[in-house]
Amino acid sequence: MDTAYFEKRLTERKKELTARLSRLESELDVARSIDDDDRAIEGEGDEVMEELGEAGLSELRAIEAALDRIESSRFGICTRCGQPISTERLMAVPQAALCMACHREINL
């Protein structure tokens, strides 16, 4: 298992997400400081941005967990059944914690 490659990809994605989330955060602050008259409209934008933030945050948490698994040499092992996760799946989703079979079972 070439964890160095995945570590690089995960670290880069983490940087990208962290930057995007802090940009989102400052945009939300700006939206909140707008007058009451505009608040209803701005409020809708807020929700969309907060959803984006939620998605970004959960991806970030998954990436951090994956980086932890690299450090403790558990990367590429399904956290549910202990079977190896296919390289194909890790190439597509480097932060995957579950093998395809467990992923399917959980998302049924």
Closest separation in Å from C-beta 47 to Zn ion: 35
Containing 33, the helix (H) or strand (E) segment is none
**Residue 65 or 81: which CB sits closer to Zn ion?**
81
Near Zn ion in 61-80, by CB under 5 A: 78, 80
Query: What is d(CA 36, CA 54) in angstroms, rounded to the nearest whole number?
Result: 25
- Tell me which residue of 61, 65, 69, 70 sits closest to 21, measured CA to CA: 61
Tokens for 40, please give them. 């209803």
Q: Could you say which residues in the range 87-106 bind Zn ion, by CB under 5 A? A: 99, 102
DSSP code at position 107: T
Between 19 and 81, CB nearer to Zn ion: 81
Minimum distance from residue 80 beta carbon to Zn ion (Å): 5
CB of 96 or CB of 102, closer to Zn ion? 102
* Shortest distance, position 1 Cβ to Zn ion, whole Å: 16
Alpha helices by DSSP H, the chain: 3-32, 36-71, 87-92, 100-106
Nearer Cβ to Zn ion, position 34 or 81? Answer: 81
Residues that bind Zn ion (CB under 5 A): 78, 80-81, 99, 102
